[in-house]
Amino acid sequence: MTLHTPNGFRIAGTHCGLKPDERKDIALLVSDHPCVTAGVFTTNKMKAAPVLYDMDILAQPDAAIRAVLANTGSANACTGDPGLVNARQSAKHVADRIGCTPDNVLTLSTGVIGLPLNMDAMKRGIITLADQLSQQTDPAAGWQEAATAIMTTDTRPKIASVQGKGYTITGITKGAGMIAPNMATMLAIIATDAAIPHSALTHALRQATAQSFNRIVVDGDMSTNDTVLLLANGAAGGRTLTGSAEVAAFTAALTEVCVALAQAIVRDGEGATKFVTLQVAGATDTASARQIAQAIATSALVKTAFYGADPNWGRILAAAGYSGVDVDPARVALWLLDAQNQPAIHLVESGTPLDYDEPAAIALMQTDEWGFRLDLGLGPAEVEVWTCDLSHEYVTINGHYRT
């Protein structure tokens, strides 16, 4: 996907000392103009300080955002009142450097839960970033720097970009573990130079999130910090998007960006070796289809079978059976899908195992990308989610995350 830079935004990343080595660990996005902004946040009850701070800012009817600060190294989660003070102080440091008020600045944090922010390092980083932005000549390089600076256990930066009719939408995200869809599921900053009303922007983000970030699973754990922010500054200079067709086109373009970012997270899942598409069809309603898909996508038994390239399809049906949704075993059908999501091997029909080519199934599952399609035979609803395998490396990464 080609990187396009939206007008009126500057972004950069640098190292300030939040990480013990020289890796970039802090990023700053600044808009030349106040932005209409929408956000979706974790539903985890243990919300991090920056989540609470951002939610409070965006709840103000006159919110006009100029900047987003994001750091790694510390999640600033479960840090009590001092964590909120640090989030506000971080916003103030940014505001002082770019010439706005703290209420014009949002903050994001990721890293170890319970670890207070190193405010001396934060302030150093903000000063450096502000200086970098004032001298920036290559906006595309800035997006790459920022995508790198927000990484934790990610192995590569994640960026996506599309051009709509007279505007650009570009976003970065981070995430590799603690990924389970329930409003966001990681950190993402998305910027557009389109002019669009707040109500339409919010609706577009919710629609796009439902089709992307809420359809991914790495390990079934939901973070305390999950946030997706969408900023629109209108700097493209076009007319405000108000018509239903215009907003629908914008939503489709935004969804394309969000799906690319979401899938990049799964492909880079901690220890992941396989990208797996799960389709659940024939459900009575979308909620039921999604509930079953989630049960399958988060099952440790299913995911370890994915890792071992073992077509042990009984684990998939078992997960569907305990999902809490009523199913009729005599109606279910199951297929193994190829990398293009096309049925490749028919495994089960009308609840009865078929005499399929198991060596061929193993060979397909040994490749990097494939999927399963489960048809419940009960109704018209269908969903698709993206997950990965569960490998030894996942345990290694998370067994020593702090040590």
Which residues form the catalytic set? 185
The two counts, helices (H) then strands (E), for the chain are: 11, 14
CB atoms within 10 A of CB 49: 28
**Beta-bridge mates of residue 65:** 35
Q: Which string of DSSP letters, residue by residue, matches 115-143?
A: PPP-HHHHHHHHHHHHHHHHT---HHHHH
Q: Which string of DSSP letters, residue by residue, matches 266-335?
A: HHT-TT---EEEEEEEEESSHHHHHHHHHHHHH-HHHHHHHHTT---THHHHHHHHTSSS---GGG-EEE
Cα–Cα dist 240/243, whole Å? 9
Q: What are phi and psi of 70, to 5 degrees?
A: -130, 135
Amino acid at position 4, single letter = H
Cα–Cα dist 371/244, whole Å? 35
For residues 186 and 75, the answer to whether their CB atoms sit within 8 Å is: no
Of 209, 277, 198, nearest to 241 (Cα)? 198
Tokens coding 189: 């900053």
CA 187 to chain centre: 6
Cα–Cα dist 233/320, whole Å? 44
